Structure 1
Amino acid sequence: MSLQGVYVCLTVLFLSTMISSQLFQTCRLIRSTSDLPVLTSEGDITIGGLFSLHDTVLEYPLSFTAKPLPTHCSGWMQTMIFAIEEINRDDRLLANLTLGYKIYDSCSTPFHGLRTALALMSGQEEDQGSPECLDRVPVVIGDGGSTLSLVVARFLGVFHVPQVSYFSSCACLSNKLEFPSFLRTMPSDFFQVGALTQLVQHFDWNWVGTFAGDDAYGRGGAQIFNDEVTKLGACIAFYEIIPKNHEKAEMTRIVKRIGDSGARVVLVFALEQDARALFWEALSQNLTGIQWLASEAWITAAVLSTPEFHSILQGSMGYAIRKADIPGLQSFLLRLHPSKYPQDPFVLQFWEEMFQCSLGKDSSLRPPCNGSEVLVNTGNIYSDVTQLRISYNVYKAVYAIAHALDLMLLCEPGKRPFMWESCPNSSTIKPGELLHYLKHLHFNNEFGEETKFDGNGDPAAMYDLINWQLGANREVQYVTVGRFDETMQPKLVIEETNIIWNGNERQVPVSVCSTSCPPGTRKATRPNFPVCCFDCILCAAGEVSNQTDALECEKCLSEFWSNTRRDTCIPKLVEFLSFSDTMGITLLAMALLGSCFTLAVALIFAVKRHTPIVRANNSELSFLILSSLWLCFLCALAFIGRPTSWSCGLRHTAFGIAFSLCLSCILGKTLVVLMAFRATLPGSNVMKWFGPLQQRGIIFLCTAVQVVICFAWLSVAPPVPRKLMTSETARIIILCDVGSPLAFSLVLGYIGLLAALCFLMAFLARKLPDNFNEAKFITFSMLIFCAVWIAFVPAYVSSPGKYTVAVEIFAILASSYGLLLCIFTPKCYIILLRPEKNTKKYLMSKSKTERKY
């Protein structure tokens, strides 16, 4: 049968006996409890006490067929006795009444906790067969551990007997449906966990390991801590249960989890004996560099402050319940001596354990005590009143009960909460009524601390933040470095400058799964990992994050772009074909060089305007072509520089008109050459239609068409500067929007039409007999011109940004150079280098010879 089954059986047995005793008007005990060590003192009102004085107990197997053999356990509970005796001496509290006590040792086991509670509820033993039983105690102080209190509270709750625990902190005990008569002077773990959570948040620890004792206290507290820490965005690196049997293989496994997890901060929410087993294993694995967080169960445990644990526990931190200096307690503790209390089983056992001597006749295991032993000469936790924490809780519990009894007994008829009952006396106190007064109790003790219980039977949560520091004598000092008080604002106050961390460090330890992502990056969670484990990803181009641990990067506005660190948006670079660019400088030089070449050719023609070759090729048209080519070279300059409204309108219209003028002149020249050959035929008078006036008319009309198109373009939808902004690039491209694609197409198309006509005419006249047939060179120039502009279309469409403008300038310059070189270079060659050919005789002789054939 399980231990839980034993509890249930005993409870049912007891209730059955109680029912039977009412039916037969007699009192019988379930079984004898004479084997339980008990410390009693008579009084008008007896208070029960349950204290877990030892961690182990020697038990014998239960057969449930015979009376169990005695158990052996020992310890002390002197603070309760001290407080009761102090109250009995105080005439202001419970005047004319004395308090007595009946104290049992529950031996830190649930079975014995239930058994001692059963003894308190059963009254005295049957005496000489007397059927009379003394009244049960109306209130119980204890037990210490949460697991023990869970068992005892369920039992006492059946009879509504108030139970005031001094060290049970499990949050589960706040459930009044399950534990209606349970109260405590120890804050609930819910508040301790809240304080621990704030501590983790304060120091920015987001990767914390958790160990829990395998009991209600450890499991309940650790689970609440894990839940609360997770709500704050931190993560639990691991959660392990410390086995009660401290099995070596399991202890090795759970301690190894610390190193594997990478957590530097670990909470141990366990009783001191479980924590000690954990730290022994940590020592055996040489585990260092861990900042231990302690629950109040072991933060001031003397058993862990021994030198062997200094290397790993120095710097540990945790919350301890408030302490107080109780006047007179130390001298009261030191009064103990076996000769003064020969009937006190706890004093006898304590003395033997303290001095390792024997007071009995059998001294085979220990030498006999010689009577010279004195407590004041020993340095031990029994007489050390510098850390009165649990003792202070016991002290408060006794005084809370005394004040509740005082209020209850000072009642006035007709003003009681239970109107149908008369005022009680010391012998008619009902536990349920006393429970009512305890729940509504409110007073300040002599230390100025407010004592009251909330609706769950819990006191106000007040803790000292304790830091383990080594003194000059290499002994552990429990240094208070902060406080937590839920009645104050702020609740948590920490004196960080006074803290010494693990490894004797002053720097706060860092415990994170992943380091914080700096500005310019974003957090990217790792698959199958907690949210605290992440990678830092650099923000994409055009996105920034200006805070630490950003979840997402923000896009910059359309006119801004991210800097190289990706932590701020800066204005985008404005891109256009400028005069300072290498490309702009190159194109500018080519345009100026072409215009200079054009002026040079014009100068040569002007100087040699009376020579036959100049006159034979219609010098007027030649100068007009040169002028238009010069304008073509210069209009390329309008495409360089920051686009403006006037430059956008000028660049395309000037380009269209200048090229139309040039091509119109070439068309007129080609047409005249062709017609001149026809005019030499007998009877032909065609040249009268292609005289100088008609040539000027053709040029004017052909150019006027382009002027009309450009004027309409500027009037309806003129080219304007436009910013080309995309979220994918770090540049703002400023370009000239053509305004009307149709008008732009008409301008280019008309230029193409004129070029095609010029090419056709020149092609027809290319084989005319002449010493200097200009039609051949015009044909070559038109071939170059058409090839350039045919290639321009796909290049223009596919080029990005300023390269679009560069392509257009290159097409203008290439076609202009083509016209200049093909048409005028051969003439300049003859004029400058072959003057013998620049004679009328030479030109005419060749032409006459050809015409004979």
Structure 2
Amino acid sequence: MKMPVLQVVHLVFSFLYPIQSNSEADCKLWKDLDSTVVYKEGHVVLAGMFPIHSKGVDQELNFRSPPDQRKCRGFNMRVFRWSQSMIFFIEEINRNPTLLPNITLGYRLYDTCGLTALSLRTALSVVSQPMKRSSLGECSSPSIPIIIGDSGSTLSMAISRVLNLFRIPLVSYFASCACLSDKHQFPYFFRTIPSDVYQANALARLVKHFGWTWVGTMGADDAYGRTGIDLFTTAVTQLGVCVAYRVIIPKLPTQQQLQDIVKTIRDSTARVLVVFAIEEDIKPVVDEIIRQNVTGKQWVASEAWVTSTLISTKENYPSLSGTIGFAIRRAEIPGFKQFLESVQPLAEPYNAFAREFWETQFQCSLNTRLPAPSTTEQVHYSHSCTGTERVQDIHSIYNDVSELRVTYNMHKAVYAVAHALHNLLLCQREKGSALTQQCPDIHNLQPWQVVEVLRKVNYTNMFGDLIHFDKNGDPAGSYDIVNWQRESDEGPVQYVTVGRFDSSLSTAQQLVLNQDKIIWHGGTKKIPVSVCSASCPQGYRKVTREGQPVCCYDCVLCAEGSISNTTDQPECMLCPEDFWSNQRRNLCVPKQIEFLSYSEAFGMILAAIAILGAVAAMTVAAIFFRHRDTPLVRANNSELSFLLLISLTLCFICALTFLGQPSRWACPLRRTAFGLTFALCLSCLLSKTLVVLMAFKATLPGNNTARWFRPPQQRLGVFFCSVLQGGVCVAWLVTAPPYPVKNTWLYRDRIILECHLGSVALFCCVLGYIGCLAAFCFILAFLARKLPDNFNEAKFITFSMLIFCAVWITFIPAYVSSPGKFTVAVEIFAILASSYGVLLCIFAPKCYIIIFMPERNSKKFLMHQK
């Protein structure tokens, strides 16, 4: 059967420290496990736990005799001042007639030496204070209902787990580990220092604010250091910052371990170092930093050491200059300095720690029979002192009240307990209240009763701060941001407040900084840079290096068509379809719209050639019209010649429609104009070829074919051939006419404005019909090429059709392979080349004879046959 926890603890106490019963059956006073206690009796006694000594002395354990009491060394004047502040505040409350009237607070102060084992023994010593035996023979609960302490998170965790068994509340003034907010593990834990959750988030935001993306972390090997680093790493990673290294400081580091730690700090490219550690833990590392003369690092401190005079010495300043960090709120406490300087080593009630302070402060030995602290390793000085020396004559950490931060937390802790007890007292005095019978007796308090009222404490102190605890027993996260500076090379280090952080405000207002007041490492006002890789400018994107943190990357220029318009952009953004990236890749600009226009040189040349061709055709027509009665013009069917010249003029003009910006009316016009003009031209050539061929066949006896190829039939044939093409074009325009489109797929950086064919099938019909006319005309002309020269026009038609077919056969692959506006240029070139071929092959020889050889333009010459 399992034994209850309380019964197990009771058995342990009985075995270690048996209760000696007497005839009166009263419980005897259990001896303190730590005999050095500073105490004063009162109606309600508060216990205080302080690491007045910072180091323990090793002792040999032989398992044959009980171990001696733990010895400690390293008297800490700063912590001794904290213990004195508890006495000061309790005495201040006792003098206050409005707070806890007629109730006197007492105290019992213990030294835990910063050791977990000794802290646990001290907690058990508090629990085992005077107890009264009931009628059943059992002792009642302890008379100390609350404990204030300890300073360290690890110590507070150990103490709180023991006190949980007795439901005794623990109010810490300096234990900031976020783990202590877990009410499942520490249901009776309260504190007046903000949780490290606030500090870690605030430090992460501070690091992000200054643009540091590559930082190192260092923490002590305890709950405070490890949890602080973990919380900071999680918070800062979410903000896009990378942690270069994580260093843990052992509690008792060897020289090799210190050298390894400093080597990691020195060799890292991270210039910013965030440290979570108390002053005793970080001091060996700082000493090694100074010994190796490591500089160039910007230190960011947690609240545990940012205002430590033990670290911020003149010797350390060259390596730690410009240190910035979060400090708990400070206050100026009236009368406290005078109280500290009025301490007497031999005064009543006797304070053994005051005696050790005196000997340490004045480097002397007091000649008295009063005992020194039994847990202290004795130090003997060469000269003696009387106890009448003046504390105010020597300035030390003890009487330096310029940075009362932890002391202010002690003020909050003591007064929060006092207000909780005052609320209990008010509850008792409410006459006639239904709750009066439920109010506990303040002279016989149970610890769990104090817990209930402590959770509801809510008051504004003399410094204007609202004091209350949240559901986790934590206060609001409120910090000062301090910066280490000094006015001269030999002056003392000053903690200059350069900002604040208050978690109770809105997110935008929580962090406030005055950057103009900050002096960075090396005495500069320029914010130090701490990055693994330089910031990627606009137009570049970050590419993470394989196997390295995301903050270590290379900058790669954005691909064409994509941009980055901010620095350190992980991905480039694609530009919209009608836009393209500029040369710097930081802006999307409208794509250049490209088409074959009149304004560019190539377009002007083609337009000039087309106009020249049209003028040439009209000039030939004028020459023919002037010499229309000459045998040469009449012999070559002048009517068809004029119609052919008109169609050629239209073909040249048709080429001009392919120039300029495609539009809703331009696209159908250029396609249908091309089809109709060339159909008319080829119809005329076909009729001329048939006329030449039939004219010679009609000379044969009994052949009456010529009567079917007279002018009316010729005009009808031309009209019929042209109307067929016109019908196809009308069908094309009605069903699926050509239309302008933006070609964005051919080139990524520009838009080709071109005419879509609409119906590809009907376009092929138009081209196919022209091809059939040309092929048929070429065949007929080829058959008639050997007829008598002076009357034969078929030879010239053959050459013209040969050129025409060659041009349009080569047009197809050239058209398909030509990109962008050159596709239109190929079309125009094919139109002009075929038109010039017909014009020159058929009409140039005739014009030459008409103009330069008029003697050959006679009936006699034309009738002559070779």
TM-score by length of 1: 0.88
Q: How many pairs does the alignment contain? A: 833
1:809 aligns with 2:828: yes
1:724 aligns with 2:743: yes
CA distance in 2, matches of 1:769, 1:707: 36
How far did 1:336 drift? 2.8
Residues 115-159 of structure 1 show CA distances to partners (whole Å, capped at 9, x for unaligned) of: 22233333379xxxxx99996533322222111222222222222
In structure 2, the CA distance between the partners of 1:455 and 1:624, relative to structure 1 (3 Å rule), is closer
Give the equivalent residue in structure 2 for 1:293: 300
CA distance in 1, matches of 2:72, 2:829: 109
CA distance in 2, matches of 1:701, 1:437: 113
Give the equivalent residue in structure 1 for 2:336: 329
Question: Considering only aligned residues, what root-mean-square deviation do their CA atoms show, in Å?
Answer: 3.6
How far did 1:217 drift? 1.0
Q: Residue 453 of structure 2 aligns to a residue in which SS?
A: helix
How far did 1:223 drift? 1.4
Pairing of 1:26-65 with structure 2 (within 5 A):
36-65=35-64
Moved more, 576-585 or 14-23: 14-23
Give the equivalent residue in structure 1 for 2:244: 237
CA distance in 2, matches of 1:760, 1:141: 118
Pairing of 1:387-786 with structure 2 (within 5 A):
387-409=403-425, 411-412=428-429, 424=441, 426=443, 428-472=444-488, 474-489=491-506, 490-550=509-569, 552-726=571-745, 729-771=748-790, 773-786=792-805
How far did 1:839 drift? 4.7
How far did 1:268 drift? 0.3
Give the equivalent residue in structure 1 for 2:134: none
Amino acid at match of 2:643: L
The runs of at least 4 aligned residues of structure 1 exceeding 6 Å deviation read 10-13, 22-26, 131-135, 361-364, 413-422
CA distance in 2, matches of 1:825, 1:193: 96
How far did 1:763 drift? 1.0
Give the equivalent residue in structure 1 for 2:126: 120
How far did 1:567 drift? 4.1
Amino acid at match of 2:638: S
CA distance in 1, matches of 2:464, 2:151: 25
Check conservation: 1:648, 1:719, Cα contact below 8 A: yes
Give the equivalent residue in structure 1 for 2:88: 82
In structure 2, the CA distance between the partners of 1:483 and 1:701, relative to structure 1 (3 Å rule), is closer
Unpaired stretches in structure 2, ≥5 consecutive residues: 1-5, 132-137, 369-377
Residues 71-111 of structure 1 show CA distances to partners (whole Å, capped at 9, x for unaligned) of: 24455322122222333333333444433332221111112
Moved more, 617-626 or 166-175: 617-626
Amino acid at match of 1:486: S
CA distance in 2, matches of 1:643, 1:611: 46
Q: Residue 211 of structure 1 aligns to a residue in which SS?
A: strand
Q: 2:229 aligns with which of 222, 225, 229?
A: 222
Amino acid at match of 2:111: D
Residues 305-335 of structure 1 show CA distances to partners (whole Å, capped at 9, x for unaligned) of: 1112212322212222222222221111112
Moved more, 745-754 or 703-712: 703-712
Pairing of 1:109-148 with structure 2 (within 5 A):
109-123=115-129, 137-148=144-155
Check conservation: 1:206, 1:532, Cα contact below 8 A: yes
CA distance in 2, matches of 1:12, 1:220: 34
In structure 2, the CA distance between the partners of 1:213 and 1:727, relative to structure 1 (3 Å rule), is farther
CA distance in 1, matches of 2:181, 2:317: 36
In structure 2, the CA distance between the partners of 1:413 and 1:757, relative to structure 1 (3 Å rule), is closer
Check conservation: 1:123, 1:133, Cα contact below 8 A: no
Check conservation: 2:499, 2:514, Cα contact below 8 A: yes
Q: Residue 718 of structure 1 aligns to a residue in which SS?
A: coil
Unpaired stretches in structure 1, ≥5 consecutive residues: 1-7, 126-130, 848-853
How far did 1:615 drift? 3.9
Q: Residue 766 of structure 2 aligns to a residue in which SS?
A: helix
Check conservation: 1:44, 1:99, Cα contact below 8 A: yes
Pairing of 1:304-315 with structure 2 (within 5 A):
304-315=311-322
Moved more, 440-449 or 751-760: 440-449
Amino acid at match of 2:666: S
Give the equivalent residue in structure 2 for 1:103: 109
How far did 1:632 drift? 1.4
Q: Residue 151 of structure 2 aligns to a residue in which SS?
A: coil
Residues 817-849 of structure 1 show CA distances to partners (whole Å, capped at 9, x for unaligned) of: 1112222233334444555654544444433xx
Q: Residue 381 of structure 1 aligns to a residue in which SS?
A: coil
How far did 1:683 drift? 4.6
CA distance in 1, matches of 2:807, 2:429: 119
Amino acid at match of 1:633: F
1:316 aligns with 2:326: no
Q: Residue 245 of structure 1 aligns to a residue in which SS?
A: coil
Residues 242-283 of structure 1 show CA distances to partners (whole Å, capped at 9, x for unaligned) of: 222233444444444446653333210111122223333444
CA distance in 1, matches of 2:654, 2:454: 103
Amino acid at match of 1:480: T
CA distance in 2, matches of 1:499, 1:686: 113
Amino acid at match of 1:756: A
How far did 1:207 drift? 3.4
TM-score by length of 2: 0.87
Moved more, 573-582 or 613-622: 613-622
Q: Residue 55 of structure 1 aligns to a residue in which SS?
A: strand
Check conservation: 2:178, 2:227, Cα contact below 8 A: yes
Moved more, 278-287 or 165-174: 278-287
Amino acid at match of 1:444: T
Give the equivalent residue in structure 2 for 1:3: none
Amino acid at match of 1:324: A
Pairing of 1:238-277 with structure 2 (within 5 A):
238-258=245-265, 262-277=269-284
How far did 1:757 drift? 1.7
CA distance in 2, matches of 1:474, 1:534: 43
CA distance in 1, matches of 2:812, 2:531: 60
CA distance in 2, matches of 1:495, 1:606: 97
CA distance in 2, matches of 1:343, 1:749: 123
Q: 1:822 aligns with which of 841, 847, 850?
A: 841
Moved more, 370-379 or 144-153: 370-379
How far did 1:481 drift? 1.9
Moved more, 283-292 or 578-587: 283-292
1:792 aligns with 2:811: yes
Identity of aligned residues (%): 52
Check conservation: 1:542, 1:727, Cα contact below 8 A: no
Residues 343-395 of structure 1 show CA distances to partners (whole Å, capped at 9, x for unaligned) of: 54322322222222333599975333477743212121111111111222223
In structure 2, the CA distance between the partners of 1:485 and 1:59, relative to structure 1 (3 Å rule), is same
Amino acid at match of 2:92: E
Q: Residue 114 of structure 2 aligns to a residue in which SS?
A: coil
Q: Residue 718 of structure 2 aligns to a residue in which SS?
A: helix
Moved more, 324-333 or 722-731: 722-731
Q: Residue 102 of structure 1 aligns to a residue in which SS?
A: strand
Amino acid at match of 2:38: L
How far did 1:813 drift? 0.7
In structure 2, the CA distance between the partners of 1:645 and 1:334, relative to structure 1 (3 Å rule), is closer
CA distance in 1, matches of 2:727, 2:128: 122
Q: 1:279 aligns with which of 264, 283, 286?
A: 286
How far did 1:684 drift? 4.0
Q: Residue 458 of structure 1 aligns to a residue in which SS?
A: coil
CA distance in 1, matches of 2:11, 2:244: 46
In structure 2, the CA distance between the partners of 1:485 and 1:637, relative to structure 1 (3 Å rule), is closer
CA distance in 1, matches of 2:548, 2:386: 66
